[in-house]
Amino acid sequence: MTWLRQLTVVLWIAVALSLLTWITAGYPWPLCVIAILPLLAPLRGLMRGQRRTYAWATLFAAPYLAFALTELLVNPAARWVAASSLLLVFAWFCTMILFLRASRAPRV
């Protein structure tokens, strides 16, 4: 379970860095930095392995998934950035779900 928590934090960092790579696709850097700010909200709980944080942090992934998927389909100039962001956000989402499943209390 510790490795899932560590993987989630590593993927969180990768998602944050992937948002900065949108600068190469023509997005202004202040917008890319502002896009990272909401990701700071669950970081403390993700690092501590708090189940409640993992539960609501999955909701944070949805807008990033929608944005990356939209850009992948609509913006040919940003397809490689969108594809990498989509892959990273989806992996981050999946590791949070896996952590929640692995850390739940056994049913009696």
The tens-digit pLDDT sequence of the chain (108 residues) is: 688 999 999 999 999 999 999 999 889 999 999 999 999 999 999 999 999 999 999 998 999 999 999 999 999 999 999 999 999 999 999 999 999 999 887 776
Chain centroid to CA 54: 12
pLDDT value at residue 54: 94
pLDDT value at residue 105: 74
- Can you tell me which residue has the tokens 């989509």? 86
DSSP string, the chain: -HHHHHHHHHHHHHHHHHHHGGGGGT--HHHHHHHHGGGGTTHHHHHHT-HHHHHHHHHHHHHHHHHHHHHHHH-GGGHHHHHHHHHHHHHHHHHHHHHHHHHSPPP-
pLDDT value at residue 94: 96
pLDDT value at residue 100: 93
pLDDT value at residue 95: 96
Write phi, then psi, for 41 (nearest 5 degrees): -60, -50
Distance between first and last Cα of the chain: 21
pLDDT value at residue 107: 73
- Domain-wise residue ranges, the chain: 2-103
Are the beta carbons of 103 and 51 closer than 8 angstroms? yes
pTM: 0.91
pLDDT value at residue 2: 86
